[in-house]
Amino acid sequence: MSLMTSQPQIAIAANPTATAAFDPPIVRPGEQAFYRVVFNALEESIEWPGKVPAPAQLEIRPGAHGQILQMAGASLEPRTSFNHRVRAANVGMFTVPEYVVKVYGKPVTVPAALLEVVAAPPAGVRTTPRLMLELPVTNLYVGQAVSVRLAMPGLAGGIVQGLGQPQLTGQGFLVDLGGARQRIEMTTTAGVSLPAFFYETTLTPVMTGKLTVSAQGFTAGNRFSGPIVITGSATIPGGPPQYTLLESDPVELHVRALPTEGELPGFTGGIGRFAVGPPQLVTNVLHVGDPVRLTVTITNHGDGPLARLVAPPPPQVPDWQVFAAHDFTPAQPVLPPRAVVQPDVRTFIVEAGRQPTGGRAVPPVQPGARTVPEAVQGVVAFNYTLIPLTEAARATPPIPFSCFDPDTGSYADLTIPSVPVTVLPGTVPADLQALTQAASTAGEAEKELILHGLAASRGRTAASLVPPQQQAWFPFIQLAPAAAFFGLWNWDRRRRYLEQHPDVVLRRRARRALRRQWRILRRAAQTADAPRFAAAAVSALRVACAPHYPAEPRALVGADVLPLLPEPDRTGRAGEVVHRFFEVTDASNFSTASTNPAELLPLQSYLERVLQQLEDRL
Amino acid sequence: MKTADMGLWLLAFRLPSAIGLLLAPSFLSLAALAASPDTLFQAGATAYRAADYTQAAEAFRQSVTLQPASGTLQDLGNAEWQRHRTGEAILAWEQALWLDPFNDAARQNLRFARKTAQLEAPELAWYEVISTWLPVNWWAWIAGGSLWLAVGMGALPGLLRRRKATWQQATAALALMVFLLSIPALFGVQTRARIGFALQKDTPLRLTPTLEAQTLTRLAPGDPARWLRSRGRYVLIRTSRAVGWVEQDQLGLTCPKAGKRIG
């Protein structure tokens, strides 16, 4: 509570004001300037309009905005800045007229601002420094940490300021604020050696596609937010800082996903150029059940920073129990890559909170000094605890480890090699098996939580996502076997019936035979083939009577036919016709006397009537 | 007229239609080749490898529309996941498992996505769990086949006047057992078809099927729900937290046509 009450109060202005200006106020056609509006109010209280009323000839786009607290006497005063990027294609005077913005619910007038666009602006117009965002590479992979440098070159006369609230804006990346550093060193711009302020941090993209990154920060004069290394000659202005909001041009990153093809075991997301040092054991003579510590160093030889490299998971092997070492610590600080200077360059370190004196001159860089890139960007050590479970173990298990090399676009094998050991008899603790089970289960669970790559083929296909039982045709498909079984059952039922009633079969056969003979006799009658006609007629009479007698149809005679006719017909014309047909055919078959079957042809109509009567009885 | 003469006459009379019937499959195959499921699948995979996930998702979706396939749905889920469309990704992976529960990659992706997005999996009843053991299309055929096999083994020997052999009786008993065991799975398929997933971020779950209704809660993309019934463009769903109404477009069903039958 005392710490809270000791903090200076934030002064909220009763009548907030605004200032507006172009930076620089005079530019060439096509040159970019910033239209900057500053309020002495909190950012949340300002209802900033979506569009600034600018002349049509002036191309204006929204830029950075931010808030910083400025010491004003014993209290802090908020200063909120809104930047717009402005560009004019033609020479002229362009005025953004005054307009009203609501601050704390009250109307505040933003004054008019004038931009002069001339073909040849006078020298020395620029009064505020520029902020530049520098990335060594813009084609990245997801998870590939890259060093980012914000550079703010000093102005003429070697004047350089600090940068307050530096931040990277955009979507789809993470910024490692913990590893940020700042320094001032000499740079050569257009043949002129000037000091520049540098702010370095690490950016890690977490999304694929095109990402846009831009930087912003406030000029902070001699206020530095942390330790700073000053190299060379620089003039740091004294007095209260101006807190001007600067912003860099946006940088576009092209971020790709890591390829799934060729991924090696033990990949934990490490991207860069790493090398594995020889693993070290405390001792090479072990006892069964005794833990031993294995240490291996990973050296970063790449351009990127060694940011949070994750140790490979412990392997599951039968002879060893390997525990993951979560306490690994960097053997050297994990820092972004930087340039080191030769020892003859004098270096000054400014601690946080200790302000350098205003206008102090720092000794310049010696003419022979040069910067050389570091060969090693950092080293980390992984520690594992290994417990031999049997005396059969002759070497520590190799620990699969791999990383992705962005330069080659492929995975590199960094498997930690095994170390020869001698295992002597010992006792295995009883709870070791439980630990083994727990470690095994945890490893499997972690292994599952990855996004698998694309399927190589379309896999199992289907006509529809709708299951068959919900398809309209499915019941009909199921009716088909039902219909087949019903037909089979019906056929079997009929067959059993016919077996019990053989007369039905006889009558059916007789009907078929009668019709066949009937057709024959009709054809014979048409062709006047009297013998064939007579033979077919007798056969028809016999097969029509056969079911009524337990005899062969060929054994039947005319006397067998007559009882089947109605009583009046037996003695009438029908009976005569039957007798006549049998007589003529019997005579032609058995008698030596000549017969004339042609005389039977006129009797066809009587014969057919008899046959019809016989068929009706079948 | 002889048979040969009749055949020639028919050939002459129906020659144009016969030629049309012969050529129709060729034209159809040429048209299908331009946008067959395979070519769309390959196009999607190429776009995915080039990190063009929007194009990849579109190609995979068209391929699935032409012919649903487990691998295509898995890749569609991957593309949607890369587009940060969690709801569509989870729906696609669920549909991949719906078609092929042996697709381990889709299952792992679902677990990964739910772990990452802090989402819960749908709670399945025991018969629904059984229905996940095999592809959904199998259960209907297993049930139908086993039923008619049991009926056939029991009835055919009698119909054909043959003595029932031991193996026939054993087969009939086995088939009957399979049929009875597949009934719960069939029911599980029916109920699982009504499971859907919220597609949009902060999908409002409304008290009544109206635009001005009170919002009971908001669903995260990928949250599971069961389709109960529909009214107009709203559907009544039950989630693990509440029962309420959402718009039809905000819920993706594992079996897209199930809602129409229920509604």
The answer to whether residue B9 sits within a structural domain is: no
Give the domain A265-336+374-429 fold. Answer: Immunoglobulin-like (2.60.40)
Tokens (6 digits) for B72:
């295509």
pLDDT at A351: 35
DSSP A392-415: T--BPPPB--EEEETTTTEEEE-P
| pTM score, whole prediction | 0.47
DSSP letter, residue A260: S
pLDDT at B75: 96
B132, B93: one domain: no
Which helix (DSSP H) or strand (DSSP E) does residue A228 occupy?
strand A228-231
Give the domain A132-256 fold. Answer: Immunoglobulin-like (2.60.40)
pLDDT at A394: 85
Q: Is B193 on the interface with A (CB under 8 A)?
A: yes
> What is the C-alpha to C-alpha distance for residues A304 and A306, in angstroms, rounded to an integer?
7
pLDDT at B105: 94
- Bridge partners (DSSP) listed for residue A341: A371
Measured N-to-C along each axis, helices B166-192 and B136-159 cross at an angle, to the nearest 10 degrees, of 150
Give B152-180 pLDDT, tens digit per residue: 999 999 888 888 899 999 999 999 999 99
> What is the C-alpha to C-alpha distance for residues B79 and A267, in angstroms, rounded to an integer?
22
Domain that holds residue B170: 128-192
Nearest to A464 by CA among B179, B235, B140: B140
Which helix (DSSP H) or strand (DSSP E) does residue A579 occupy?
helix A573-590
CATH 2.50.20 fits A10-117, yes or no: no
**Cross-chain CB nearest to A459 (options B38, B69, B254):** B69
The answer to whether residue B40 sits within a structural domain is: yes
Beta carbons of A458 and B115 less than 8 Å apart: no
pLDDT at A377: 67
The answer to whether residue B3 sits within a structural domain is: no
Instruction: Check which CATH number belongs to the domain holding B203 and give it.
Output: 2.30.30.40
Residues 5-64 of B with CB under 8 A from A: 37-38, 41, 45, 48-49, 51, 53, 63
Q: Which residues of B touch A454 (CB under 8 A)?
A: 45, 48-49, 74-75, 78
The answer to whether residue B19 sits within a structural domain is: no
State the nearest Cα–Cα gap between A201 and chain B, in angstroms.
Answer: 27
Tokens (6 digits) for A48:
């900033």
The pair phi, psi for residue A489, each rounded to 5°, is -65, -40
B201, B255: one domain: yes
pLDDT at A438: 55
pLDDT at A474: 92
Instruction: Check which CATH number belongs to the domain holding B46 and give it.
Output: 1.25.40.10
Secondary structure of chain B as H, E, C letters: CCHHHHHHHHHHHCHHHHHHHHHHHHHHHHHHHHCCHHHHHHHHHHHHHCCCHHHHHHHHHHHHHHCCEHHHHHHHHHHHHHCCCHHHHHHHHHHHHHHCCCCHHHHHHHHHHHHHHCCCCCCCCHHHHHHCCCCHHHHHHHHHHHHHHHHHHHHHHHHCCCCCCHHHHHHHHHHHHHHHHHHHHHHHHHHHCCEEEECCCCEEEECCCCCCCCEEEEECCCCEEEEEEEECCEEEEECCCCEEEEEHHHEEECCCCHHHHHC
Which helix (DSSP H) or strand (DSSP E) does residue A232 occupy?
none
Residues 149-178 of B with CB under 8 A from A: 151-152, 155-156, 158-159
B125, pLDDT greater than 70: yes
Q: Is A7 on the interface with B (CB under 8 A)?
A: no
> What is the C-alpha to C-alpha distance for residues B67 and A176, in angstroms, rounded to an integer?
46
The answer to whether residue B16 sits within a structural domain is: no
Q: Which residues of B touch A452 (CB under 8 A)?
A: 74, 78, 105-106, 108-109, 112
Q: Using 70 as the pLDDT threshold, list the residues of chain A that sit under it.
A: 1, 3, 124-127, 156, 190, 303, 305-307, 325-377, 427-448
Nearest to B147 by CA among B180, B118, B120: B180
Domain boundary among B117, B137, B169: B117
Q: How many domains does chain B have?
A: 3
B112, B41: one domain: yes
Domain coordinates in residue numbering, chain A: 10-117, 132-256, 265-336+374-429, 502-616
> What is the C-alpha to C-alpha distance for residues A340 and A370, in angstroms, rounded to an integer?
9
Whether ipTM tops 0.85, in short, is no
B7, pLDDT greater than 60: no
B146, pLDDT greater than 90: yes
Give A164-188 pLDDT, tens digit per residue: 888 888 888 988 877 778 888 888 7
Q: Which residues of B touch A455 (CB under 8 A)?
A: 70-72, 74-75, 103, 105
The answer to whether residue B50 sits within a structural domain is: yes
B219, B162: one domain: no
Q: Is B232 on the interface with A (CB under 8 A)?
A: no
